[in-house]
């Protein structure tokens, strides 16, 4: 970003979502499609996806936005550095199945929410059934909401659905709205 773009960004202070790690392209696309009916993407909310090697260029955006959300399914030194740049009003959204990410939680001031298949995840997938389509349940704070995805989905697509559930909740959507949005975007 040049100096003028940085000044413009600081004046507007949009919310920023940065998606990195395995499956970052699919996850960012689903986040975009679920949030689009509720927010002005590009004006109120900026969504970026990047591989972990190019994450360094997002430090400015994470530290200067009105709310930064870092979504990661894996960790390395660059992701750890970016997580440290996310301020206390921001969020770290991590795949709890990757135990290395647990170390990052203590290194950042941001609030951390996790998703995954194992016990202990804030947003946990359970009761996964593959019967021509894929359906599973998202468990969050004692609430259980079913999710249906067309076709047989792999673990990566279910993880993307879980990450979307976390981000959608951060942005004020309830799990039923998120489940319905996930089902609707599958039809497109």
Per domain, the residue ranges of the chain are: 3-114+122-187
User: Distance (Å, rounded) from C-alpha 80 to C-alpha 104?
Assistant: 6
43: how many CB neighbours lie within 10 A of its CB? 9
The pLDDT assigned to 69 comes to 97
The CATH number of 3-114+122-187, from 1.10.4160.10, 1.10.260.40, 3.40.50.300, 3.40.1190.10, is 3.40.1190.10
Tell me if residue 60 falls in helix, strand or coil: helix
The two beta strands, 91-95 and 67-72, are: parallel
Pair of tokens at residue 83? 């997580």
Model confidence, pTM: 0.92
Q: HEC string of the chain?
A: CCHHHHHHHHHHCCEEEEEECCCHHHHHHHHHHHHCCCCCECCCEEEEEECHHHHHHHHHHHHHCCEEEEEECCCCHHHHHHHHHCCCCCEEEEECCCCCHHHHHCCCCCEEEEEECCCCCCEEEEEEEECCCEEEEEEECCEEEEEEECCCCCHHHHHHHHHHHHHHHHCCCCHHHHHHHHHHHHHC
Question: pLDDT tens digits, the chain, 188 residues: what are they?
Answer: 788 888 988 889 999 999 998 889 989 999 999 999 999 998 999 999 998 778 888 999 999 999 999 999 888 888 888 999 999 999 999 999 888 887 788 888 999 999 999 999 999 999 999 888 899 999 999 999 999 988 878 888 899 999 999 999 999 999 999 999 998 876 54
CB of 112 closer than 8 Å to CB of 94: yes
User: Distance (Å, rounded) from C-alpha 102 to C-alpha 26?
Assistant: 23
């Amino acid at each position: 970003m040049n100096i003028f773009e940085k000044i413009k960004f600081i004046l507007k202070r949009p919310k920023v979502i940065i998606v990195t790690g395995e499956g970052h392209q699919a996850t960012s696309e689903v986040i975009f499609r679920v949030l689009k009916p509720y927010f002005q993407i590009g004006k109120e909310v900026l969504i970026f996806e990047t591989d972990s090697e190019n994450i360094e260029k997002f430090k400015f955006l994470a530290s200067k936005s009105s709310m930064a959300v870092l979504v990661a399914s894996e960790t390395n030194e660059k992701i750890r550095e970016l997580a440290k740049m996310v301020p206390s009003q921001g969020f770290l959204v991590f795949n709890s199945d990757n135990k290395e990410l647990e170390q990052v939680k203590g290194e950042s001031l941001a609030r951390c929410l996790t998703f995954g298949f194992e016990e202990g995840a804030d947003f946990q997938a359970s009761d996964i059934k593959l019967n021509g389509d894929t359906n599973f349940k998202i468990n969050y704070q004692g609430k259980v909401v079913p999710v249906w995805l067309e076709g047989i989905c792999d673990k990566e697509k279910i993880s993307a659905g879980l990450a979307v559930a976390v981000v959608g909740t951060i942005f004020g959507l309830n799990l039923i709205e998120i489940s319905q949005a996930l089902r609707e975007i599958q039809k497109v």
